[in-house]
Amino acid sequence: MAVGIGTAERAKEFCQLTGFPESQLFADPENACYDALQLNKGALTTFLRPETPLALAQRAISGETADLKEAMSTWKAWIPPKLEQGLQQGGVFAFEGTQTIFQHYDVSTGAHADLLAVMQAVGVSEKDA
């Protein structure tokens, strides 16, 4: 399940572009979930942290840029429901009942959770993915 900033209409558009199942994506136009989780946000975090160019460089060096190139081919600018949401960072959380079994706060743009670590935390092996 995923939560995204924006309206239900934008969520549907995202699902159409990516094939992500609509039933698994919730729109958060008011930023309620992001605020409750106290995810990072702000101009400094979004644009000026060293993790951003380092994350992008690591992706380029590893050759793992095909997904980024594909995403950019359909990307279009838009204004979020709340202007400050344009400076919002994301995160990854996994829960087992009410217990948090994995959490990652993106420190800046591009500095995402390690997918293998997420999968391991929720009991999915690399070969099962």
Q: What is the rounded end-to-end Cα distance, in angstroms, of the chain? A: 16
Q: Which residue has the higher pLDDT, 122 or 67?
A: 122
Range of the domain at 68: 2-128
Q: Of all residues in the chain, what percent carry a pLDDT higher than 70? A: 98
| Total count of domains within the chain | 1
Q: What is the pLDDT of residues 92-120, one digit of tens each?
A: 999 999 999 999 999 988 889 999 999 99
pLDDT one-digit tens code per residue, 9-29: 999 998 998 899 999 999 999
pLDDT recorded at residue 99: 95
Per the CB < 8 A criterion, the answer to whether 20 and 14 are in contact is: yes
Read off the pTM.
Answer: 0.78
